[in-house]
Each structure stands twice: as structure tokens, then as C-alpha cells.
Amino acid sequence: MASNITFTMIKPGAVRNGHIGAILNEINKGGFKIVAMKYTKLSAEKAGEFYAVHKERPFYGELVEFMSSGPIVAAVLQKDNAVEDFRTLIGATNPADAAEGTIRQLFATSIGENAVHGSDSDENAQIEANFHFAGTEMFS
């Protein structure tokens, strides 16, 4: 898989609230190419594994429950400087702190239900892409 990728999920709350199309539109407007995408649902076990880095945090149980509470859209996105530029496009973790016009400012309802995930490093982007997609499902 090429570098300059990031991994995202449209989280269950944003899917429930009918924001899939609007969020994909923001992603396209932001200059990202979709190289893989699926509509799927995480089991509690898979959600726990995905966010294992937060296992000791007080919100871990709530996070796992939320992330496995309904379908998500998982996608791999490609752009120069993808990880950092996507974090800019989505805004701060807490939507109350997210800049005007960012995806979280527009579509998140709380820090726990914050509309989208974005990888935090190139290394994690590769790990997360491979966690959700086989090589034959990515088209760069």
C-alpha cells in the first residue's frame, strides 16, 4: 500500500443521523481520493481491539460500546500529507473545540460521539487500513 494514506471511519452516530453523504462530500472537497471503502459493523471485540491503546482510559468501555452500536463506513483515503491534512479537515476531538467548518464541528454531537475517526500517524494509518481491508480491496 502506498504511503500518503490515512484511515477513517464515519462513526455509528453520524451514520444514524444521516450524515454519510455529507461527510463523504467534505472528504471529496478536501482533495482526498477514496482508495477503499465499506459499510460494515464492528463487533465489541473488534472495536476494543481497534482502540486498545485507550484500554486504561476511563472512557474506554463507553467508546467500545458506542463504536459497536451500529454500522460504520470505513475508508482508506489518499492525498499528499494525508494524516495531518485529514486531522485538520475533521477538527479537534471535542467538537466544542473544533474549528468552524470542520467535519466534527459540523456533524459531531459530543466528544464521545464525534462523527469520524482519523489516523494519528503514517504507521497507524497502515495498521488501521490493514485491520479493515485486504490488499485486494484497496485501489490506489
Residues in contact with ligand ATP by the rule CB under 6 A: 54, 59, 63, 93, 111-112, 114, 117-118, 120
Q: Which is nearer to Mg ion, 88 or 140 (CB)?
A: 88
Q: Render 91-103 in DSSP notation, one character per residue.
A: --SSGGGSPTTSH
Task: Confirm whether 19 is a catalytic residue.
Answer: no
| Binding partner of residue 59 among ligand ATP, Mg ion, none, CB cut-off 5 to 8 Å per kind | ligand ATP
Of residues 110 and 140, the one with the C-beta less far from ligand ATP:
110
How many CA atoms are closer than 13 Å to the CA of 135, on its beta-carbon side?
A: 2
Closest distance to ligand ATP from the beta carbon of 81 (Å)? 17
Residue with cell 503514517: 122
Cα 98 → chain centroid: 16
State which amino acid sits at residue 70. G
Enzyme catalytic residues: 117
